[in-house]
Structure 1
Amino acid sequence: MIKTTATSGSRASKFGAIVRVTSGNFLEQFDFFLFGFYATYISQTFFPANSEFASLMMTFAVFGSGFLMRPLGAIVLGAYIDKVGRRKGLIVTLSIMACGTVLIALVPGYASIGIAAPILVLLGRLLQGFSAGAELGGVSVYLAEIATPRHTGFYTSWQSASQQIAIILAAALGYAINVYLSTAEIAAWGWRIPFFIGCVIIPFIFVIRRSLQETDVFKARAHHPSAGEVWQSMRDNWRTVLAGGLLASMTTTTFYLITVYTPTFGRSVLHLSTADSLIVTLFVGLTNFIWLPVGGALSDRIGRRPLLLAISILCIFTAYPAMHWLAEAASFERLLAVLLYFSFFFGMYNGAMVAALTEVMPQNVRVVGFSLAFSLATAVFGGFTPAMSTFLVQTTGDKASPAYWLMFAAVCGCAATLVLYRQRRRVAVEVAVEVA
């Protein structure tokens, strides 16, 4: 159990701390969502190929490559945050992330600079992935450490909730661009506008995060682990990290399916309008924002394990029927209904999962442990969800086939929940015996 203390006694100061620490999460998800939403235009600009499928697959592969950097970022930057503090470390992650965002926004197209264009886009994604590897873990642990007793789930849920604001804003911007610009204008330069807006808000996020206060929990620690001690702890706890990654797989897969992949799925697979896909995505972001704190607060009340198991099992048995119902008669109304249903999965599960993952990690390496587990889940599952979904639809001919990938992730999440909580009970019994 995490011992939590407040950095300040007032509710206003806690709200301010939540806003300051989650501001970087906003930037991360804003840019990640834009890359997925404008994948078609990015593929045409940077990855021209003989077929739309090949071009999209190259684009989604570059999108996914950023997630392969997350485990490295989790170890390097996560260890740094555990050593120097949450505040200093999170400023570093924001700096690296900002560099990647600016690079992607400003790179000329393939027609202008040739092969250098996709290489520079890839570099930008790798920088973003490296920073994101520790950003989410650092923010989640910070929120857990400032949480009031018995409210850890509610506090940590705001890490993901902040990302939903980014999705809502990105979807709203995309809808406005779709209304006021022609398809040719969007393909030529209009898709860059939201990326430029992301660059403009970077300085404001830096100002906000620099005012962040260090947590009392970190300041109270007498010892901060060295790099060697971090590696040793990760080796000793590799089973916990691996199980934690499987626990997070349900979250990452669901999230990238209902946000990043939705616009492409709606346009390219279901042949709905761009406006329909954007409106659905906006509502998904809104309902995610609502369900996340509900899931976190409910897990504080009934426990993490029951909620994690219930949502996983529900997803296993209903994901494909829901997707099949959508695919057999695609419409805006059905897309909205199914995606909001999956939004319920994501919000309730993730609300419990983030708190659970912070609680099972060793305290002295909590950031690196959390970050590595979540990064592995994102690298293997979430980040490649758009590419895997595109591949499944193309090879099976079944428009509902992305549900198979989601169901597999739910099975992994269910199994990990059983393993981690059985392990926690065993450890608790051993400690009780030693004390007796």
Structure 2
Amino acid sequence: MATAGNNKGIFKKILNVTSGNFLEQYDFFLFGFYASYIAAKFFHSENEYVSLMMTFTVFAAGFLMRPLGAIFLGAYVDKVGRRKGLIVTLSLMALGTLLITFVPSYDQIGIMAPILVVIGRLLQGFSAGVESGGVSIYLAEISTDKNRGFITSFQSGSQQIAVVFAAILGYSINVMLGPEQVGDWGWRIPFLIGCLIIPLIFILRRSLEETEAFKAQKTHPTGKEIFQTMLANWKVVLAGMLMSAMTTTTFYFTTVYTPTFAKRELDLTTSESLLAAVVVGLSNFIWLPIGGMISDRIGRKPVLVGITILAIFTAYPTLNWLVNDISFNHLIMALLYFSFFFGMYNGSMVATLAESMPVRVKTVGFSLAFSLATALFGGVTPMVSTFIIEKTGDASMPAIWLMFAATCSLLASLYLCKRLPNKKAVYQETKA
């Protein structure tokens, strides 16, 4: 009974803390999926490619704010606590969401329309810079040495639920409304629903308990001490960024960019691209805890190294096969294969990154490494993919970008795993 009670308490904490992750990914997925509609409403151009590139550039701009959020908000979380800090990040995320939802179109307010959309994305990016890191560190601190990979996998697991929910909602709107209605005002409905669930997420996060690991720290670092520690550990942060490259690149290709890729490059319907996103989200949700559990059993290194090598040698053949024999079924098969990469790798990667950071600055260290990876790899994936396809005329080329990210992650994983020969010793200082 005690074990059942403990498990219930842990999963309640997981629900409370990952609720903000749900909102973050829900909004990011919507922005990517409705990129063509947002481009038409806010970024006028006679050239569809230019308009779409402008939209994906704004999408990427939000990620460029993540490192700043990681540094300043991450330092705040490490100083005042996980609970208080994560409530602040949720507030900023909610403000950005509200702004994007209700901004009038370019035809109504002119140049202020794209400016306000950019501000909304920057607020979301600043908040997201520490959201994933803060949640991951919270989960790492309530876990044990035997289940840390499994528990931390729910950080990304909550994002997969958001993708599935957003995709199903988008599919329903696409069925009920005509293309002109969706383009005119229907695309705002999912964003509005996101605004309506914000109060519920605030309630969940306000009931969040502070971690015992944080409360056990007798002193907490000042801002100056945090920055000094981060400078002293810059190699670990850089390696953490590169280790996260494959996770962020694969995720944003298979979720955010897939709807645009399926419609623009494969000539599939909007409904088919949305159904594909649902399948990918469900697949990710299954593979994430499996990857985490396997890494808890056999170690982080075999999972990280094995998956990156597999991605390097098979990503291009897989996407090239899809492009040369286009069908909805083949799209699903290719995305499920990439989903396997993401879920297995990320299930181990999050725990490894948490275990790699200095104890007193875990949140800012994790957040900075992950946000840099998201900014330089994942966040620009839709933009890079659109650009290289346009320049080469080969719709298979995004796989080269994925292979490059996998190579970076392989080298970084070897470096960080070498620094952590005994993962069970990592949290002893925190628990002391």
Deviation at 1:424, TM superposition (A): 3.3
Tell me, in whole angstroms, the C-alpha distance in 2 between the residues paired with 1:38 and 1:289.
23
SS in 2 for 1:189: helix
Tell me, in whole angstroms, the C-alpha distance in 2 between the residues paired with 1:182 and 1:427.
54
Residue 282, structure 1, aligned to residue 283, structure 2: no
Tell me, in whole angstroms, the C-alpha distance in 1 between the residues paired with 2:256 and 2:424.
40
Q: Give the TM-score of the pair, scaled to structure 1.
A: 0.95
SS in 1 for 2:420: helix
Deviation at 1:425, TM superposition (A): 4.6
Residue 239, structure 1, aligned to residue 240, structure 2: no
Counterpart for residue 193 of structure 1: 189
Deviation at 1:148, TM superposition (A): 2.8
Stretches of structure 1 lacking an aligned partner (at least 5 in a row): 1-5, 430-436
What residue identity is the alignment partner of 2:211?
T
Counterpart for residue 324 of structure 1: 320
Tell me, in whole angstroms, the C-alpha distance in 2 between the residues paired with 1:82 and 1:392.
40
Q: How does 1:102-181 map to 2 (within 5 A)?
A: 102-181=98-177
Counterpart for residue 3 of structure 1: none
- 1:30-62 Cα offsets, whole Å, 9 max, x none, are 000000000000000000112110000000000
Counterpart for residue 434 of structure 1: none
Residue 291, structure 1, aligned to residue 284, structure 2: no
- Cα 1:328/1:409, change in 2 over 3 Å: same
What residue identity is the alignment partner of 1:42?
I
Counterpart for residue 206 of structure 2: 210
Residue 379, structure 1, aligned to residue 372, structure 2: no
Stretches of structure 2 lacking an aligned partner (at least 5 in a row): 426-432
What residue identity is the alignment partner of 1:221?
Q
Deviation at 1:420, TM superposition (A): 1.3
Query: Aligned Cα RMSD in Å?
Result: 1.5
Tell me, in whole angstroms, the C-alpha distance in 1 between the residues paired with 2:386 and 2:154.
31
Candidates 100, 112, 134, aligned match of 2:96: 100
Residue 250, structure 1, aligned to residue 276, structure 2: no
What residue identity is the alignment partner of 2:49?
F
Counterpart for residue 296 of structure 2: 300
What residue identity is the alignment partner of 1:368?
V
Tell me, in whole angstroms, the C-alpha distance in 2 between the residues paired with 1:55 and 1:366.
40
Deviation at 1:25, TM superposition (A): 0.1
Deviation at 1:11, TM superposition (A): 1.4
SS in 1 for 2:44: coil
Tell me, in whole angstroms, the C-alpha distance in 2 between the residues paired with 1:135 and 1:178.
31
**Contact 2:145 2:424 survives alignment (8 Å):** no
Candidates 29, 32, 36, aligned match of 2:28: 32
Counterpart for residue 50 of structure 1: 46
- 1:173-207 Cα offsets, whole Å, 9 max, x none, are 11111111111000000000000000000001000
Counterpart for residue 261 of structure 2: 265
- Among all aligned residue pairs of Structure 1 and Structure 2, give the percentage whose two residues are the same amino acid: 63
SS in 1 for 2:380: helix
Structure 1: which 4+ aligned runs deviate by more than 4 Å? Answer: 425-429
What residue identity is the alignment partner of 2:45?
A
Deviation at 1:422, TM superposition (A): 2.4
Deviation at 1:261, TM superposition (A): 0.1
